[in-house]
Structure 1
Amino acid sequence: MNNFFNTVRVRMEKRAQYNRTVHEIRNMPQDVAQDLGIFPGDARRIAHEAVYG
């Protein structure tokens, strides 16, 4: 039972990290995003790769 709660906790932490990353990418200044080759429309894909691998 303890393992179940640990799994849920880890998944919730990862989801929160994913949401923060999407938010940060979408709100990044345009010039910084262009310099990095990041487009706001790719925020979900980039965040997913960063958090979940």
Structure 2
Amino acid sequence: MQIAQLSGFHASAQGQGFATTLLASLRALRQRRAVYTRTVNELTALSGRELADIGISRSEIRAVARRTANAA
């Protein structure tokens, strides 16, 4: 007998679905984090004048990046 049979462990489709869902969620989180980081970096690199031209104050950069990442 196999060890899995002896322990009563059975891989179910439901268990695999959970793992698939978990991995998909982690990938999506990583992608949103990358968008957030890239947006913060790009906006931080702009001058105060450039930020004013696009209607963003320096104190709003993280909020704008968060909204952008959540929309992605």
TM-score by length of 2: 0.64
1:10 match: secondary structure? helix
CA contact (8 A) 2:51 2:57 kept: yes
Report the aligned-residue RMSD: 1.3
Q: As a proportion of its length, which structure holds more helix?
A: 1
What's 1:20 paired with? Answer: 38
What's 1:3 paired with? Answer: 21
Question: Which structure has the bigger radius of gyration?
Answer: 2
5+ residue gaps, structure 2, are 1-18
Instruction: Write the letter of the residue equivalent to 2:63.
Output: R
TM-score by length of 1: 0.82
Higher RCO, 1 vs 2 (CA within 8 Å, ≥6 residues apart): 1
Runs of 4+ in 1 over 4 A off after TM superposition: none
Instruction: Write the letter of the residue equivalent to 1:26.
Output: T
5+ residue gaps, structure 1, are none
